[in-house]
Each structure stands twice: as structure tokens, then as C-alpha cells.
Chain A
Amino acid sequence: MCKSWMITAAACAAFVMAGSPSPAQTAGGRIPRMADGKPNLTGLWQAFGTADWDLEDHSAEAGPFFQLGAIGAIPPGQGVVEGGEIPYLPAALAKKKENQANRWKQDPEVKCYMPGVPRAVYLPYPFQIIQSQKDILFAYEYATTNRLINMGKPQEAATDTWMGTSNGHWEKDTLVVDVTGFNGLAWFDRAGDFASDMLHVVERYTPLDANTINYEATIEDPATFSKPWKISLLLYRNRDKNARLLEFKCVEYAEQLLYGDLVRKDSK
């Protein structure tokens, strides 16, 4: 916006100082900062890669619907799990395999349910961070899901939810978000990876430059895993001109799947 003739040089300078990371200002690589010196993560972000297909290494394979041809196929991907494999307890591994076998019906993403954390971060949709001088809003395009990171005094989860209760703090330039209070219904990916309601996620968002965030999540759930494990991947800023978070309300696209057998036959 500093290019606009309407904005005086002084106003433009003040705006840059305040840290609004518009693409024109962030191309140089400097991490935008808030007035208090903390990194300003405000912007439109998205993960590359295929973590939402499978957090672990996976080969390409056919999708379930031949009608979709190559569009419906599963792309290959290198895993984002440190150490390669998720350390499931035996019973949990069996459950994961069962999930995977039934994924086209059981995956909460198929049903347009909230994605939980960390899945929301690496879904193949962008998300918008709005960082105030207090709390930080994460708004995800998928299903209009959102969560507020409480940056004040940590709050205990009032109830179990899909997206959990997020308490954040800064460790130098890293935003650390501690998430608890999950309902145990979300999956981690389309391959059936999952956790129970004892899930505890600690996320670390570290800006590497103006347009890249290093994302790490430590995942802990003694009912599902033999030890805590970690994923790491990069988040990229969408710098396209006038890039905006759009609306993807997917409920409509899941209704026939969910309720179709209860619709009067002659009406659909």
C-alpha cells in the first residue's frame, strides 16, 4: 500500500514501523515486527507438501473414484515425522490401520468436520493469522475453522473441543502454543493417524524470514503413543497480489454423503 499515491511518505513509514507485512514490504526478508518488537506473524500462510495425505513417507497410489482420474489420485510425499514413524502403541496402530481402511467414509475431513490441531496447519488450504497486541487469531479457510491463541495468563480448557484450548507465549522469536482440551475425534491426516482425548500438542512457530515460518509440533498422548513425537514443516506466506482468505464452507458438499440415505428418493 505504500506504493499508493494517496499515502504520504510519513504515513507509509509509520505503517511499516507498525509491522503490517504486506507483500511489497516483506519481499526483502526482514521479519515484520509489532511495536513491542515481537515478530508480527499476520498474513496468509500455507504449507506445501502432502502432510495432510499422510504424515509419514508414502508412495503415490490410486484414489477411490476412477471417475476422477488423475485428479483423484494420491500424490507421493516425504514424511514430516521426525524419526520417520509415529510411535503408536500396538492397539492404537491397529486402530490407525482400521481408520485408513475406512478413510473415505470415516475421515473427519470428508465430513467437513473441524480439523483439530496440528492438522489445521497443514491442510491444503491457506490460513490467516491476525496478530493483535494481545491475543492471536488463527483463521483457517477450511470449514471456516478458527481458534484464538490466548497470550495472557494461561487458561485451563473449560471443556473438550475439536480445536482444543490454546495458550501461547513467546520464547525469543518463537511463538509457542500449548494446546490441550481436545475431544479426541479429530484425525491428523487422511491416512487415519489419530490421537485420543488425552492429546497434548505444543506448537512452535519460528519465522525464518519475512515469508517463511518453521513449524514444529510435539505430540503427546500416553493412551495412543509410546513416547512423544514431533513433526516439522515449513509454512509459506502467500504473496500473490490481493491474496485473501476465502470462504470454504464445506458442509454443503458433505450433506449428501452424510444424509443422502435419509433424503426422499424422488427428490434427489
Chain B
Amino acid sequence: MNQRIFLWMSTGAIAAMMAAGPLAGQTSVVVAKPDAKAADKSDAKAPTKTKAEAPFAAPKTPWGDPDIQGTWTSDDTWGVPFERPKNFGTRATLTEDEIKAREKAVERSAEFVENGGENHSPAKAQIDAAAKGEAPPAPPQGRYGRGVDSAPVPGHWGEFARRASHQTSQIVDPPDGRLPPLTPEAQAKLDAKNKLRRDPVPASYENWSWYDRCISRGVAGSILPVIYGNGLEIVQTPGYVAIRYEMVHDVRIIPTDGRPHLSSNIRSFMGDAVGHWEGKTLVVETTNLLGDRMAVGVNGDGGPPYSEDLKLTERFTRVSANTVNYEMTVDDPKTYTATWKVAFPITHEPGYQLFEYACHEGNMAMHNMLSTARLEDAKKTSAAPQPAK
């Protein structure tokens, strides 16, 4: 973890957004070179689609589709609250002063990563205090106080925004930038999930999120920005667009030749995506998702488990050489009482590339967390009064 997390917390975002996932499970990490100077100047102040830009001749593939290929990252939205803090009301963009403050924060976080290697995690704070003979700081509450989530994370693991987004939230619809109320059914599922996740002595691997288990982050979780692994790569061929995500090496093959969805009997974590081009915009509709597992939220676990009726509609529009505007509309009447939408740019950054993220293969964290839990069980048993012989 690093200080951006704390900066970002101060914006009032929900804690679940920071889920760091199976940190010990990775064999390679993105080391996104902080190359802000080399970034496309035309994008520097235009992280949202609201800014008028010079007419941009969108590149086309040799077969005539808009060309959105390459490596992209949602890093620039790192630090923008998922839900809008209530004090902003229906104001979707920051004021000049607020932008200046965010620019400062972005600068600080970039510097921090550039000088990387320092640890700012709760666990490291404890270790540092002990080394100095000082009283340890109060341990953080909730899930971040235990297991992999409190492990020290070096700064150079972190990704960061290179430009200050002008958005007050990632959610742009409803107009207040906040999630619509949950259905009672979804609230019950959320409560049950939270109980499972927050069990201080987990019984099984099933207590952990699908991401902690290195299974998937889902469609939304694969692009909503987190502390690292925000990269995706788009490859096109006539009749298909493919998107590969670094984290958990998820990949989506999206036919754009007008074919129908798979039978609704075939369900999966990433769902069935079909796409089409509307002018220069790639529109992708995803259905056939497995219900009652992942959430439309950070790392696929922030929020209530969605139902199998979830339909996601994403729009990818290239607006400059280094920027694609991304939108995702969430439609799941069994979970949310209204549709809602996130929107943010994804950018091409010099030096940024995807690495193999062998999450499950190196998921020693699961072994360690479970064996610790069984040790806790054993301690409890041995401490309990023994039955009379």
C-alpha cells in the first residue's frame, strides 16, 4: 500500500475499493514507469470526455474498423471516488481549486512511486514502530487488519494517475454519482457476503473473494482502477475484438459479426460478450454471467453479488491518439433499483506494458491464511476446558 490509498480514503470512498487482493500470489508486477513528461500533452488536461478537443482523425484498421488496439490503463482514474462524496451533490466535475489540490496529490503519488520501495502499509507501520521501540499504532479495523491485506506492499508495486482527473466520481449516472438503492434481496446477499468475508477465523478458501482466490475480477473489476494491475490490451481482427487484462490473465473474445449470444444455459465469470461498431464506438454487451458470486465493483468484490440477469453495456471510443473514453452501464433489476453508469478515460502510456500475472500459481497467501486460521482453531480448542475423563 502507499500513501495514495490514504489520500484516496480521505475522499470518502468506500473501503472495499482498496482491496489489494492476493498480493503474495503474484510472480510479476507491473512496474509502470512514471513517465509523466513523455505523456501526450494533448491529453494532459483532458481526462474526461467533456473537454473539447481538436478534431481527431481516429485511426482505422486495414479492414476499415476503428482501430483501438494497444495497451491501455485506467490509472488516471486512480484516486477518483467510485461513488461521489455527498457534498458534491450533482456536480460531476471539480472546481479549479479542487483540480489544483488533486494535481498536487497526483504529483505526490507519482513522486512516491518514482522514489519507490518505501512501505506504507499498516503492517509495516507496526514493524517500524517496534523497531524504534515505540508504541505500535492502532491496528486498522475490518478486513484490512488481517492477512494478505495488511502485508507490506512496496511503493514500486503501485500504479498511479499521471494526470488529475476532473471527475468528482467514477459513477456518472444517476446524476448524484451514487449507486441506486439495492433491492432487499441484494442487500441480504451483501450482508451474507460481508459476514463470510469478515469472519476473523475463516473456515475455508470460500471465505475469500473470487479475486483473492485468483479466479477472476469479472468484467467491471478488471477495469475499475486499483493499486496495481490496471492494464488491458486490445487486439482486433476482422470480425473480432479481444481484450486481455493483466490481472488474473482474464481475456474476452468479442465477436463483432452480428452473431447472437450463447445459449443462456452457458454461464461464466466473464460472461458472453458480443460487440458491434456504432460509428467510431465499440459497443459491447455482456450477458450469461454467473449470478450470486461476484460484484460490479472493485476487484469484482466491492458491492453486492449481482444476479444472473446482469447485463453490462460498455462503450469504447477513441478520442485521441492516447485516450479511449470508456463507459459501462449496469443493468440488473434484481440487484439495483435503477440502471447506473461509470465513465472514465483509459490511456496509452509510454513504457507501460502487461506482464504475466500468475496469480493462482503463486497464491501462497491462501495456504498461509488458511493454515493460520487452523492454528487459531487449535489454540481455541486447547484453551477450552477439557472434558472430565
Chain A interface residues toward B at CB < 8 A: 1, 4, 6, 14-15, 18-20, 22, 34-36, 40, 42, 108, 111-114, 128, 130-137, 139, 144-146, 148, 158-159, 161-163, 183, 185, 242, 244-247, 249, 251-252, 255, 258-259, 262-264, 266-268
Contact = CB atoms under 8 A, between A and B. Distances in A.
Contacts, number: 151
Given A133-B61, A252-B215, A263-B205, A161 B28 contact: yes
B244 interface: yes
Contact of B27 (A112, A128, A183): A183
Given A148-B233, A259-B205, A130 B240 contact: yes
B251 A139 contact: yes
Interface string B198-237: 0000011100000001111000000000000000010111
Contacts of A108: 361
B249 A251 contact: no
Given A132-B235, A259-B366, A268 B257 contact: no
Interface string B235-263: 11111101010001111010101111010
Contact of B251 (A144, A255, A266): A144
Contacts of A19: 63, 238
20 contacts: A18-B62, A35-B63, A40-B237, A113-B360, A114-B356, A130-B242, A131-B237, A132-B237, A134-B69, A137-B244, A139-B242, A148-B233, A161-B28, A161-B356, A163-B356, A247-B268, A249-B269, A259-B367, A259-B370, A268-B204
B305 to A, nearest CB: 16
Going nearest first, the 4 A-B pairs with the smallest beta carbon separation are A262-B370, A247-B268, A18-B63, A267-B203
A36 B279 CA distance: 25
Contact of A128 (B253, B258, B367, B374): B253
Nearest to A165: B356
Contact of A263 (B204, B216, B238): B204
B67 to A, nearest CB: 9
B253 A162 contact: no
Given A128-B253, A139-B242, A162-B358, A255 B213 contact: yes
A256 to B, nearest CB: 8
Interface in B252-293: 253, 255, 257-260, 262, 266, 268-270, 272
B208 to A, nearest CB: 10
B371 interface: yes
Contacts of A131: 237
Interface residues of B, number: 53
Contacts of B269: 247, 249
A131 B69 CA distance: 12
B235 A264 contact: no
B69 A263 contact: no
A36 B259 contact: no
Given A18-B62, A132-B69, A263 B370 contact: yes
A155 to B, nearest CB: 9
Contacts of A4: 258
A92 B262 CA distance: 46
Given A14-B64, A136-B235, 7 more contacts: A22-B257, A113-B358, A128-B242, A137-B242, A158-B353, A159-B355, A244-B255
A101 to B, nearest CB: 22
A246 B255 CA distance: 13
A108 B362 CA distance: 12
A145 B370 contact: no
Contacts of B238: 15, 18-20, 40, 42
